[in-house]
Amino acid sequence: MSLPPEKASELKQIIRNHLLKMDIYGKIREVLAETVRDDQGPAHQSLSEADFLRALQRRGIIDDVMKDIHFTQVNQLLDNHTDNPFFLPANINPTRRYLFLQVLGGKAFLEHLQEPEPLPGQVCSTFTLYLHFRSQRFRSKPVPCACEPDLKEGFLLEIHRDGIGEGGKMVDVTTMLSMCDRIHLVLIKTDTSSETTLVSSYFLDWRTVLSSPSGKTCFAVELMGVGSECKVPAGVLTVSLELFPPLTETLSADIISTQQSLERRRIAEKERLFLVYAKQWWREFLEIRPSHQSKLVKIFAQDENGVSRPVCAYVHVLRAGRLLESPRQAARFVSLLAHEKASVVGGGAEKQEQWCTLMAFLCRGRGDCEDHATLLCSLLLGFGLDAYVCVGTKAKGLPHTWVLTRGTDGSITFWESLTAHRYLHQAIDPDAPPLAPQPKPSSPYRTVGCVFNHQTFLANCQPSDAVELCVFDFQNQSQWKAMSSEALESVCALVSTTSLPPLPPLCAPSLDPAAASNQLELEMRFLISEHRKDLELATVWDDHLSYLLSSALSAYELERCTGVSCGNEEFQDAVRRAVPDGHTFKGFPIHFLHCNARRAFATCLRSPFCEEIVCCRGDHVRLAVRVRVFVYPENACAVWLMFACKYRSVL
């Protein structure tokens, strides 16, 4: 039988790593030197390969190699090379410690009990599993949704990271026992129209493998639902954990459970003390002014698993590396993550309370305004700005969150995380004379109850919580009541004994923007041609005019990122040159957050301007369409489409 080239190289690397671990090359050099010495003399002959192999066999080197090799994994690779995902990558560093996590399948996803088997080539809903562990992120291949989904994937997690294990020193079992970093599993469902749903968010404590004599353990993980269904099982995953290289010594299960129990007690005590402090702080806040009872002062918020945490725990200093270049580009990226309120079963219910963990929000690519605001605040803090999340209301008294930054000159800027719009705040002076000029409110925000970031929580204790009257002088204790920074740090700092979800890094985009743009443009041309065919209209494309539309789309995205408009003059001049005298040009740009051509086309046709272009009738009608996909971290997409036509004007 033959192996594909990439599998053959994997097999060679597995064997090579094993030989390196045995120091086989050192032993061969010793035998070679000894054989050469023995054969030296006046009548010595040249040493043949057969002589050397006999010497190795005499010394027992070959027997040792064959005895120590475990063929289980190699046989799996050979027998099932077409569909077996469970083989180790070739780039394993033998001086590092790894945890190999295998998902061996799913079952009891009862919501999909009646799901029919997808036909070959049929588009169907899929499950995708995402993992995060110690700044490493992975995702599985999407598999069709089913009661027993075929989720079979292997993930190699490096334990030897972030300063754990010095130099070439292998991280030992005691050090691993003290690591309370859990593996965050997030299961996402993607439907046929590319809409994503958060199915489950689970934190796996991997340290049970430290008590396994074989260095391997297998167990079932029950995934629970999210939000209002966080107490309802969503399904079960069979998971296997294996340490590489295997441990020379193991721990007893009692030691591991004692360590876990000690960590839980320590966390519970810190949370209890903070709750006692928060209650006392709240009583003091209400004593300042009875009307404070109605202010939106949000101290705790529930995550997708129904776990209540201080709101400050949802904000961290997040640096995007080379993925984002400026605060305004960060705001643009956050605004491209779709806005969706948490769903509730039944009508007439108030808004469901759910602040997502950052990993769940990024994997799903959509969330509520709180998720957007906490992510934007974290990124702005990473860019060195003095940023805070504001909790208050906007028009019609609807609860809302947004971001505030304070300049060194005292200027206050509001950032709307859903749109990337920025507003310069200037407070109205209520004591000014009646005819004195006052600044007009520029932002859509009406009231503000509190502001917070990863280190600070401040409640608004000014006579009025109206944004237009509010002074954001956080050092003034008569205007803002602060929580103790030490109390906040005890429950919100990312230290080794914390129960907070680990902070995931942003992932670089995997989409090719040029390929995605071309594909979407071809699909859009096909849909337009088919639509016009149904209307018994011919379609003639003007490729040159389509190309000219690119500069306009690029300018639109640049304006969204920077707030500066440029390049419009060149575009207008190019269009005038491309449209002959006596002809009319019409264009219609539109913006989307997805790459689904049919959804986009259906939305476009709802606009009378677009329909007028797509269904254009007349003399010498030429159509053009241009698509530009701008890709950001996490594969967030800004999709710009422009429809255009030119035709001879007939009076």
Give the chain's radius of gyration (CA, Å): 31
Q: What tokens appear for 610 in the block? A: 């677009």
**Pairing outcome for strands 386-394 and 445-452:** antiparallel
Q: Predicted confidence band at 208 (pLDDT cuts at 50, 70, 90)?
A: very high
Segment 147-193, tens digit of pLDDT: 999 999 999 999 865 544 444 467 888 889 988 889 999 999 999 88
Residue 359 has pLDDT above 90, yes or no: yes
Give the residue-averaged pLDDT of 381-400.
94
Q: Is the peptide bond before 245 cis (omega within 30 degrees of 0)?
A: yes
**DSSP bridge pairs for 236:** 107, 222
Rounded Cα–Cα distance for residues 412 and 409 (Å): 9
| CATH (one of 1.10.10.10, 3.40.33.10, 3.60.110.10, 3.40.390.10) for 513-648 | 3.40.33.10
* pLDDT of 245: 84
Q: Categorize the per-residue pLDDT at 350 as very low, low, confident or very high, splitting at 50, 70 and 90.
A: low
Please list the residue range(s) of the chain that carry CATH number 2.60.40.150.
97-251
Residues of the chain with CATH 3.10.620: 262-492
Sequence ranges of the chain with CATH classification 3.40.33.10? 513-648
Among 367-381, 494-508, 553-567, the minimum mean pLDDT is found in 494-508
Query: For residues 110 and 169, which has the higher predicted lDDT (pLDDT)?
Result: 110
Cα–Cα distances (Å) from 516 to 543, 595, 640, in that order, read 18, 8, 12
CATH of 262-492, one of 1.20.120, 3.30.300, 3.10.620, 3.90.400: 3.10.620
Provide the whole-model pTM.
Answer: 0.82
CATH number, domain 97-251, options 3.20.190.10, 3.10.129.10, 3.60.10.10, 2.60.40.150:
2.60.40.150
Average pLDDT over residues 363-377: 96
Q: Alpha-carbon distance 629 to 145, whole Å?
A: 29
What would the pLDDT profile of 561-601 be if each residue is shown by its tens digit?
Answer: 888 888 788 999 999 999 999 899 999 999 998 888 999 99
Listing DSSP states for 308-345 in one string gives EEEGGGG------TTS--SHHHHHHHHHTSEE-PPP-S
Mean pLDDT of 611-628: 93
